[in-house]
Amino acid sequence: MAGLLALLPAGRASCCHAASDIQGKRLLVMQKRYELRREKFAQDMNQLAEEVAAQSYFSAAEEIRRRAMPVEAGAYDLDTLPVEIVPGVPLTLPEAERSWRIKQQKLEQDYAADTYRLARDALREGLPSLTYQLVREVAFHDPNHANARSMLGFVREKSAWTTPFLRRMAQDQMVDHPRFGWMPAKHVSRYESGERLVNGQWISAEKEAALRRDFQNAWEIGSEHFLIRTNHSQEKGVELSRQLERFHDFFMKEFTAFFNSRQQMEKLLDVGAKIRWTPEMPRYRVSYYRNQAEFFQALKSQQPDIEIANGLYLPHVRTAYFYFDENSENDPQADQNHAETMYHEVTHQLLGESRPGIVDAGKNSDFWVVEGFACYLESYQPDRPGQELGNPRHLRNFWARQTILVENNYLPMREFTALGQPPAFPLKAETYNQAAAMVHFFLNYNDGEYRDAFIYYLSQVYNPARGTRSRTPNTLEDLTGVRFEMLDQQFLEHLRGFPADPPPGVQVIMERPRP
């Protein structure tokens, strides 16, 4: 690979990027409008808090101040919404308290209504990420806002908010058992006593386990978005389905703009989701083998070098494959490695199945982002609220910094992004690590300056029809309005911000992450 270039000063790209500059100006205008409205809201709420405190409702006054704080202050969670329909202010309250509670409710509802109108304008300006962020804030301040709730995937069921899936489960009298997952409520007691229903007959758990060892008779665990087949155990399949559902929900929230065209989002904003979940709806398919040998045996005919893999996604059959590693029970690092592989391959699955048919993403160029984005998602840590992704201490980031800055081994973006599928794109750890670090850069540099442009770029790679007439995606140079040479400089600056020391417990001499 080429060494570090002597990068020359480079500014904004020329007139061919006028459209990107215009979009940037539109974003600034929308952000300014939002800030003005939010400042007015905060001013009114803080004034109300003073009035409430003067009446000795001190804890209520503090809560009003907290709800007046900007989202970035982290004082509240936009995803924590009440399940029940929020009622009006009770008539039974003392008149003074009822008066200020009505005023607070009106202030928040008016702010939510204005923010929703701003969200609609942001959508018309081609700013889907901002749109989704604003809609989440709408639902926080007015939990009964039907369109905001609908866009976030909720439906109203009598006096509560639920999802189409949970509504269907309730209608079918299904319960989510801690060990056995979703099952008819009437079967719970028999399952807990050791019986299992197989092909319409009740048999012992031991007999079922013997039957399920053959993958042809594997357990099938269904959840809202996944259908998992496994010959390990029903309990393991349920555990896996919950892990994947959590990852799916985070993924969809974080990268909504990838999955929603402007037309789709406009439909959501106008009329709300009318989805009725049914078991026949397509779900992501996962096969999970009880050991490595069976995994190799099942896939060696489709993937000649399967022995070097601990997970795989095959687009032509729309299925992700994994296996249970006995070492993971006593080795936290092995367990973490398998989790990262799962997030990597399921990322390929979520993106690849976002369109009908098989998507040959990155065939002639831009393949780096196909693997780089999946590598970036390896850093997902569900137990770090607000920091689930993008840990700069992740092993791929450490090795990218080591390779590029210390070993002076870097392929500039103009060349790197032009590479198509292998063999054009080298199947080497160094290229995968650079790709992962570049994704980190485009999503996080300068408070997400390039985030929307990057997600649109990713969407084009997976849906070439959205690009130019020649079905070649717009380059990141086109979409950001910044020349690749300047992006190179900014990327290297971003890398220098990563910790120079390896993650805890990792030796520099260790084998580098494989592709």
DSSP state of 402: I
Tens of pLDDT along 9-24?
Answer: 233 333 334 445 666 6
| Three-state secondary-structure class, residue 418 | coil
Whether the pLDDT of residue 184 is over 80: the answer is yes
Whether the pLDDT of residue 474 is over 90: the answer is no
Strand partners, 312: 321
Q: How far apart are CA 196 and CA 182, in angstroms?
A: 14
55-64, 112-121, 199-208, 305-314: lowest mean pLDDT where?
A: 305-314
Which pLDDT score, from 0 to 100, does residue 243 have? 96
**Cα-Cα-Cα-Cα dihedral of 272, 277, 283, 289, to 10°?**
140
Tens of pLDDT along 346-377?
Answer: 999 999 998 777 888 999 999 999 999 999 99
Whether the pLDDT of residue 470 is over 50: the answer is no
Tens of pLDDT along 340-350?
Answer: 999 999 999 99
Which pLDDT score, from 0 to 100, does residue 267 have? 60
pLDDT tier, 505 (very low <50, low <70, confident <90, very high otherwise): low
The stretch 196-209 carries a mean pLDDT of: 96
Percent of the chain residues topping a pLDDT of 90: 66
pTM, two decimal places? 0.85
Instruction: Let me know how many helices (H) and strands (E) the chain has, helices first.
Output: 20, 11
Q: How far apart are CA 347 and CA 353, in angstroms?
A: 10
Whether the pLDDT of residue 304 is over 70: the answer is yes
Q: Average per-residue pLDDT in the chain?
A: 88
Q: How far apart are CA 369 and CA 443, in angstroms?
A: 12
pLDDT top residue among 490 and 309:
490
| Three-state secondary-structure class, residue 400 | helix
Which pLDDT score, from 0 to 100, does residue 472 have? 61
Whether the pLDDT of residue 286 is over 90: the answer is yes
Q: Residues, the chain, total?
A: 515
Neighbouring C-beta atoms of residue 86, cutoff 10 Å:
11
- Helical segments of 289-388, H only: 292-299, 332-352, 367-377
Whether the pLDDT of residue 467 is over 60: the answer is no
HEC profile of 233-269: CHHHHHHHHHHHHHHHHHHHHHCHHHHCCHHHHHHHH
What residue ranges of the chain are covered by domains with CATH 3.40.30.160?
A: 217-352
Which pLDDT score, from 0 to 100, does residue 118 have? 96
CB 465 within 8 A of CB 471: yes
Which pLDDT score, from 0 to 100, does residue 23 have? 64
Whether the pLDDT of residue 511 is over 80: the answer is no
Backbone angles phi, psi at 482, to 5 degrees: -125, 135
Q: How far apart are CA 398 and CA 495, in angstroms?
A: 9
Q: Which residues contact 338 (CB under 8 A, 6 or more apart)?
A: 310, 311, 322, 325, 328
Which pLDDT score, from 0 to 100, does residue 319 have? 97
The stretch 327-348 carries a mean pLDDT of: 87
Cis peptide bond upstream of 423, omega within 30: yes
Residue 54 token pair = 């003067």
User: N- to C-terminal Cα distance for the chain?
Assistant: 16
pLDDT top residue among 464 and 201:
201
The stretch 133-162 carries a mean pLDDT of: 92
Whether the pLDDT of residue 253 is over 60: the answer is yes
Q: Which string of DSSP letters, residue by residue, matches 144-185?
A: T-HHHHHHTT-EEETTEEE-HHHHHHHHTTEEEETTTEEEEG
Q: How far apart are CA 175 and CA 198, in angstroms?
A: 19
Quick one: fold of 217-352?
A: Glutaredoxin (3.40.30)
**Cα-Cα-Cα-Cα dihedral of 302, 305, 311, 312, to 10°?**
-40
Whether the pLDDT of residue 469 is over 60: the answer is no
Which pLDDT score, from 0 to 100, does residue 9 have? 28
| Three-state secondary-structure class, residue 315 | helix
Neighbouring C-beta atoms of residue 403, cutoff 10 Å:
21
Q: How far apart are CA 273 and CA 453, in angstroms?
A: 26
